A and B are shown apart, each in its own frame.
Chain A
């Protein structure tokens, strides 16, 4: 099948590409850019995306798919559907499934399940056995099976000695260790520690719970020469520590979630558990620091930390409710609304953080918009105004604090692996 994206803005900062043109895709391959013949126009299905942006497919490097183990919350299929609806062509999934991703069979199971889907799934292996932080997982075996990084996400690797060995071991295949930075002796709480937690009477987690582990991990990355990726940065000091580490050329990278640059702990005043997450929502001061970090490149990428939970689990007493929110379908809209339209980031910087940098961190190729390349593309209308409606989400869970929020900017379509998702439908191209 042949399709033409008519008068689309071809945009890829990785190639320094920014031009308006017609794009012909045949059998999933970019066949031609511009200069299309009458015959090609006649024999192709035409999509008029005039003045919309066509960028290398978005990549979310921090997603929880819940399968195997909690298929009532999300499956690989529904998670991939949510990713496509949110504009992502590729995602990396965290290992805290049940069983967790700690042997090659589970890696292969996930890849097999996603094989026929438009969205490519890259499993992240557990860094330690059962993510307990006590003994190394079979990282080499996991890597060979297709794991692209290692993490005990949900927790930091507790034991510094094990972290050291995990870093040394992963260095052999240049895969990063992704760290959920939180010192457990300080994190026995349900929200950020500050005046709001005092008012709400909720047990709280201070910023320093994150800062201590960020410092530890940076020092460990320097010591071992291995790669550490700091997941979901939420504190002001953590941003500064990462900034200083990068100046010293320590191999540290970092991500932030849309909720951590959009919401403060003030949002918890109604005790709505959809605002309960880990790390917790912090203060405006932290948000300002995160935005500075995004601007100057301290924070490399944006990831959703998509964490589906069933309604039954979230609709309960605040301290008993699980942490986390879904984010695949709101991520692009929030990033455009809060960062690009508020002039903190250029559109180009945003595409680097949502498409190019995650792949660089995970040593994966960046899709090129070039004749002969596989079409791995996201079509974005940055000015489309829409209202978030969780009831229409593809994700199996609905735990989003952004329901009914007005956003500006949305993905219109994604193309990958010879398939296209457009107007709520998947079809082969």
Chain B
């Protein structure tokens, strides 16, 4: 079995079989992570560049760890400044890196579409580690993996994504992936944070968090990104917490069987209370562990593909 594309640019349009293959492959690697020696020689001799143009700690570490577990050689290129601002074009930077004979590029960038652009200017396999407000496919895959681990399936589950949908690449990848896998997806948040046309993607829109908790099996709670545009879309974080925050009281009142995911980092007391973030409903740390397995699966499937 092989993936239908030699890149992972997003989950939009990715066939069910590919997602299934990645999730199943991750199950094997999840087992590797439990061994005393957590390393396999699968990508020995492959060179992978982690091209991070935007600050990231957990995603970069997760990818790097996944690469090391697969015995690949890795190079980290991190900058929070666009190359264009330094006088060199992004294309030139990438061409230089490629000239060092790399096989795969894991890219995070503040501009949507950069992974697509990379496929046109390099021969390497490209993995999107988050591009602007577009997609973050490995995060969605690890979310799906964690949900599947909990429920045994994704098909028919009611899953609601809560928060700033308009500014979330995690939300978009989750919507595309979960819909493909047969889940019923809804979004919940203030109207200012719901992007235009989302209903036409087959997603239900809610503005009432109590209903969202009552009617769903899973809530995927997003971080309110105050450093981006979110601050202009809600009056105060206090008001947001009062009307959309996930608290133990709300959960116990509406649905004690709910499972809470959060991609991190958490704004405690804003989108989620500390009690919930550390409590019995959440599977947040499972997500982190599963993230390494998912990234190993993606790297393995793309890295061993015969081009």
Contacts and interface: CB of A to CB of B under 8 A. Distances in A.
Interface of A: 193-204, 206, 270-271, 312, 315-320
Given A199-B12, A203-B133, A271 B89 contact: no
A199 B117 contact: no
List 8 tightest A-B contacts by C-beta distance, closest first. Answer: A195-B197, A201-B134, A271-B113, A317-B111, A201-B133, A198-B195, A201-B112, A318-B113
B172 A201 contact: yes
A199 B172 contact: yes
A202 B133 contact: yes
A320 B169 contact: no
Contacts of B172: 198-199, 201
B90 to A, nearest CB: 5
A270 B169 CA distance: 17
Contacts of A320: 82, 84, 111
B200 A195 contact: yes
B198 A198 contact: yes
Contact of A315 (B91, B114, B134): B91
Contacts of A202: 112-113, 132-134
Contact of A316 (B90, B131, B134, B195): B90
B37 interface: no
A270 B116 contact: yes
Contacts of B82: 317, 320
Contacts of A201: 112, 131-135, 169, 172
Contacts of A197: 195-196
Given A197-B195, A204-B196, 17 more contacts: A194-B196, A195-B200, A198-B172, A199-B201, A200-B113, A200-B134, A201-B135, A202-B112, A202-B134, A271-B113, A271-B116, A315-B91, A315-B121, A317-B82, A317-B84, A319-B111, A320-B111
B109 interface: yes
Interface in B147-190: 166, 169, 172
Contacts of B113: 200, 202, 271, 317-318
Contact of A317 (B117, B166, B196): B117
A312 B91 CA distance: 9
Contact of A319 (B132, B166, B169, B196): B132
Nearest to A270: B116
Nearest to B116: A271
20 contacts: A193-B196, A194-B196, A195-B198, A198-B201, A200-B113, A201-B112, A201-B132, A201-B172, A202-B113, A202-B132, A271-B113, A271-B116, A271-B117, A315-B89, A316-B84, A316-B117, A317-B82, A317-B84, A318-B111, A318-B114
Contacts of A193: 196
A317 B94 CA distance: 12
A204 B109 CA distance: 18
A206 B197 CA distance: 12
Interface string B52-96: 000000000000000000000000000000101000011100000
Nearest to A201: B134
Contact of B197 (A194, A203, A316, A319): A194
A370 to B, nearest CB: 53
Contacts of A270: 116
B134 A317 contact: no
Nearest to B133: A201
Contact of B91 (A203, A316, A319): A316
A201 B135 CA distance: 7
Contacts of A319: 111-112, 132
A126 B169 CA distance: 41
A318 B115 CA distance: 11
A198 to B, nearest CB: 4
Contact of B201 (A195, A271, A318): A195
Given A316-B84, A316-B90, A319-B111, A198 B132 contact: no
B282 to A, nearest CB: 27
Contact of A200 (B109, B112, B166): B112
Interface in B201-252: 201
A271 B121 CA distance: 13
Contacts of B131: 201
Contacts of A206: 196
A203 B134 CA distance: 10
B72 to A, nearest CB: 26
Contacts of A317: 82, 84, 90, 109, 111, 113-114, 117
A194 B89 CA distance: 30
A317 to B, nearest CB: 4
Contacts of A271: 112-113, 116-117
Contact of B196 (A195, A203, A312, A316): A195
Contacts of B132: 201-202, 319
